[in-house]
């Protein structure tokens, strides 16, 4: 009987079929209610977007249908075990379900992180390293090896350093992250007069030379702060060197929330660089201000757009249609399949399926005769819109 009832709805995942199956169980006095609910969830996790799944379980008041919540949670853990750590979208959907059924503040998933914290971290991990195994990354026994392997994928040390700051503290301690830079680490810094160097600054290039002489092992916090103050006061003709300094500085030095907020009071501060610094710093307390700025100031230099793509910052800005259009254009100029995929996924999440599908087809050099609106919609719904990263 269970086989018949399960297959009744499992083939399509339609809510009406689940309701009919539950009705049959109730009429026949079959104790299969929670089993059917679990099978329905397993099916939906792999076949629909997390947003659609959240809408469905909210509309049907899914939690009220569960008869034994404790046992149901134990069964949900088994579902989690079957999801590959590289399938970030399914994991996000899983934690959305977990958070809905078991309030965010009353249950933790065995790792001192709430479902909402997992969702936020998963989105950040996916936008930075879409192929990394999330489960291995959060396992103290495998975190170092997993993170080290990510360094071999071509992802810059600056990007990895920003991601590292967002990982749980115990995982950060497990990862012995060795940055490879061209800094002059062998120079005896006790003999360097940084005050004199600061007085001779005439361009962002001069600041670049100074920060390359600094080291985290020396008590030079004031120099880091003053160097950034000078940099943010420049209105560069082109942003390439200034952004390079921001990347390097954020990978080497952790600014406090107060230091970051104080930068905004610099006379004639370059606000584009300031708010890009806020995003690169990984400091959540200033992120909202940066997002607000970029949502209303979307005419950005190409190097700024490229940095947003490189650092996986698209997810924070996808609600702004203008900046997403600009990022879409930059994707077509570059040669990063990762950037294309991330932008397409965010466009689908914003329900801009036609643009997402068109971008995917154009980037992958599909012949013009095949790049129809129908093809674009189909690719966005089948490949880009589903909760899987299998190609």
Q: Find the mean pLDDT for residues 258-273.
A: 93
3-state DSSP call for residue 344? helix
Average model confidence (pLDDT) for the chain? 78
pLDDT value for 6: 43
| pLDDT tens column, 3-41 | 444 444 444 445 556 666 666 556 555 455 677 788 888
End-to-end CA distance of the chain: 36
Closest CA to 386 of 339, 340, 345: 345
| pLDDT tens column, 72-87 | 888 888 888 889 999 9
* More confident call, 331 vs 156: 331
Residue 228 has pLDDT above 80, yes or no: yes
pLDDT-derived band of residue 272, with 50, 70 and 90 as boundaries?
Answer: very high
Residue 184 has pLDDT above 80, yes or no: no
Say what percent of the chain tops pLDDT 70.
Answer: 79
Q: By the 8 A CB rule, do 321 and 351 touch?
A: no
pLDDT value for 38: 84
In the chain, what are the domain boundaries?
A: 2-128, 181-274, 298-391
Measured CA to CA in angstroms, residue 336 lies from 190, 332, 341, 364 at distances of: 42, 9, 9, 11
Which of 127-131, 147-151, 284-288 is least confident?
147-151
* More confident call, 380 vs 46: 46
Q: By the 8 A CB rule, do 241 and 205 touch?
A: yes
pLDDT value for 139: 84
Helix (H) or strand (E) holding 18: helix 15-27
Q: By the 8 A CB rule, do 198 and 174 touch?
A: no
Closest CA to 37 of 97, 114, 106, 108: 97
| pLDDT tens column, 341-374 | 778 877 877 677 787 878 878 877 777 767 777 7
pLDDT value for 16: 58
| Cβ neighbours around 189 below 10 Å, total | 15
pLDDT value for 262: 94
CA 184 to mean position of chain CA atoms: 32
Q: Find the mean pLDDT for residues 291-297.
A: 87
Question: What are residue 380's phi and psi, to 5 degrees?
Answer: -70, -35
pLDDT value for 105: 55
Q: Find the mean pLDDT for residues 289-318.
A: 85
Q: Find the mean pLDDT for residues 209-235.
A: 80
Residue 294 has pLDDT above 70, yes or no: yes
Q: By the 8 A CB rule, do 330 and 306 touch?
A: yes
Measured CA to CA in angstroms, residue 367 lies from 81, 363, 364, 380 at distances of: 41, 11, 9, 17
Measured CA to CA in angstroms, residue 125 lies from 33, 119, 143, 186, 258 at distances of: 36, 10, 13, 34, 26
pLDDT value for 322: 84
């Amino acid at each position: 009987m269970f086989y018949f009832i399960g297959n009744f709805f499992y083939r399509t995942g339609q809510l009406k079929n689940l309701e009919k199956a539950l009705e049959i169980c109730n009429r026949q006095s079959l104790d299969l209610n929670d089993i059917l609910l679990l099978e329905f969830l397993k099916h939906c996790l792999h076949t629909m977007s997390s947003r659609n799944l959240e809408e469905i379980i909210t509309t049907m008041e899914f939690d009220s249908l569960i008869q034994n919540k404790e046992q149901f949670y134990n069964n949900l853990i088994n579902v989690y075990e079957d999801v590959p750590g590289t399938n970030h979208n399914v994991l996000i959907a899983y934690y959305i379900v977990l958070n809905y059924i078991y309030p965010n503040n009353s249950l933790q998933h065995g790792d001192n992180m709430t479902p909402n914290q997992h969702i936020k971290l998963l989105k950040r991990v996916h936008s930075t390293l879409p192929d990394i195994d999330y489960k291995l990354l959060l396992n103290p026994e495998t975190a170092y090896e997993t993170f080290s392997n990510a360094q071999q994928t071509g992802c810059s040390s600056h990007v990895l350093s920003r991601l590292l700051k967002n990982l749980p503290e115990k995982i950060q301690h497990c990862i012995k992250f060795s940055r490879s830079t061209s800094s002059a680490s062998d120079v005896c810094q006790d003999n360097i007069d940084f005050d004199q160097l600061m007085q001779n600054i005439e361009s962002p290039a001069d600041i670049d030379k100074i920060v390359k002489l600094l080291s985290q092992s020396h008590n030079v916090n004031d120099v880091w702060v003053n160097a950034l103050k000078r940099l943010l006061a420049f209105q560069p003709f082109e942003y390439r060197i200034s952004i390079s300094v921001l990347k390097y500085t954020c990978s080497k030095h952790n600014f406090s929330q107060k230091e970051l907020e104080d930068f905004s009071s610099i006379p004639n501060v370059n606000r584009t660089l300031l708010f890009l610094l806020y995003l690169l710093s990984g400091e959540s307390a200033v992120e909202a201000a940066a997002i607000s700025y970029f949502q209303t100031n979307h005419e950005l230099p190409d190097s700024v757009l490229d940095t947003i793509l490189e650092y996986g910052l698209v997810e924070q800005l996808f609600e702004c249609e203008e900046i997403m259009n600009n990022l879409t254009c930059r994707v077509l100029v570059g040669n990063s399949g990762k950037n294309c995929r991330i932008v397409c996924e965010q466009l689908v999440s914003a329900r801009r399926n036609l643009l997402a599908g068109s971008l995917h087809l154009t980037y992958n050099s599909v012949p013009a005769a095949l790049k129809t609106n129908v093809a674009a919609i189909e690719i966005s719904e089948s490949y880009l819109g589903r909760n899987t990263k299998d190609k």
